[in-house]
């Protein structure tokens, strides 16, 4: 791997908002950690040992005070979205709805899609990867704004498969 490629990778990681990237080949192993990562990792390690007791203490007052008011809308929203299939990002990169600024979006809300149809592009390390649908249906919601960073397995679209 050339020095310029490593520098490009570092720049990409810092812009994407990802905390850590690990790349390993036969010749080299690279681990890039952003400055933002040190605090969250130390924070996550300590609460993992004590999260059960505070979570139970916090859940009881919330359930007693607002259970009747909040359970119905949350359940309704969850059941509405449960019938949809989520198209997720297969990689880290920058999400684009169209092939270029002057080009139309691959898909819009209400469009019918087929298996294998391109639904967006994700740019990773200056490579533009067309993301194809793995489901047939109708686009219900676009969950990501154009030209924003996405992470692996992040939901991109909701599709009604019926």
pLDDT tens for 88-120 read 999 999 999 999 989 999 999 999 999 999 999
Task: Supply the range of the domain harboring residue 57.
Answer: 51-82
If asked whether residues 76 and 94 sit together in one domain, one would say no
* pTM (2 d.p.): 0.52
* Dihedrals phi, psi of 83, to nearest 5 degrees: -80, -10
If asked whether residues 69 and 111 sit together in one domain, one would say no
d(CA 39, CA 13): 18
User: 113, 121, 114, 115: which is closest to 90 by C-alpha?
Assistant: 121
Residue 4 clears pLDDT 80, i.e. is over it: no
If asked whether residues 90 and 69 sit together in one domain, one would say no
pLDDT tens for 31-53 read 777 665 443 333 333 344 444 44
Question: Could you tell me if 63 and 71 are in contact, meaning their C-beta atoms sit under 8 angstroms apart?
Answer: no
Look at residue 111 in the predicted model and tell me its pLDDT. Answer: 94
pLDDT tens for 76-92 read 445 566 789 999 999 99
Q: How many domains does the chain have?
A: 3
If asked whether residues 89 and 142 sit together in one domain, one would say yes
Look at residue 78 in the predicted model and tell me its pLDDT. Answer: 52
If asked whether residues 59 and 77 sit together in one domain, one would say yes
Three-state DSSP class for residue 102: coil
If asked whether residues 89 and 155 sit together in one domain, one would say yes
If asked whether residues 56 and 37 sit together in one domain, one would say no
d(CA 93, CA 126): 9
d(CA 53, CA 55): 5
Residue of higher predicted confidence among 162 and 133? 133
Q: How many CB atoms lie within 10 A of CB 16?
A: 18
If asked whether residues 149 and 100 sit together in one domain, one would say yes
If asked whether residues 126 and 138 sit together in one domain, one would say yes
Write the secondary structure of 20-50 as one string of H (helix), E (strand) and C (coil).
EEEEECCCCEEEEECCCCHHHHHHHHCHHHH
If asked whether residues 56 and 76 sit together in one domain, one would say yes
Look at residue 35 in the predicted model and tell me its pLDDT. Answer: 62
Look at residue 91 in the predicted model and tell me its pLDDT. Answer: 94
Look at residue 83 in the predicted model and tell me its pLDDT. Answer: 87
Chain mean pLDDT for the chain: 75
Look at residue 51 in the predicted model and tell me its pLDDT. Answer: 44
d(CA 82, CA 29): 40
**Rounded mean pLDDT of 46-75?**
44
If asked whether residues 66 and 92 sit together in one domain, one would say no
**Rounded mean pLDDT of 118-138?**
93
Confidence of residue 60 (pLDDT cuts 50, 70, 90): very low
């Amino acid at each position: 791997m050339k020095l310029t490629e490593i520098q490009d990778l570092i720049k990409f990681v810092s812009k994407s908002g990802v905390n850590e990237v690990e790349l390993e080949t036969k010749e080299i192993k690279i681990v890039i950690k952003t400055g933002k990562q040190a605090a969250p990792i130390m924070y996550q390690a300590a609460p993992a040992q004590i999260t059960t007791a505070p979570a139970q203490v916090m859940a009881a007052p919330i359930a007693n005070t607002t259970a009747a008011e909040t359970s119905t809308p949350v359940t309704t929203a969850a059941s509405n979205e449960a019938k949809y299939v989520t198209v997720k990002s297969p990689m880290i990169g920058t999400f684009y709805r169209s092939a270029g600024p002057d080009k139309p979006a691959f898909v819009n809300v209400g469009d019918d899609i087929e298996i294998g149809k391109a639904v967006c592009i994700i740019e990773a390390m200056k490579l533009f990867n067309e993301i194809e649908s793995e489901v047939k249906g109708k686009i219900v919601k676009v969950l990501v704004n154009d030209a924003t960073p996405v992470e692996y397995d992040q939901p991109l679209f909701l599709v009604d498969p019926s």
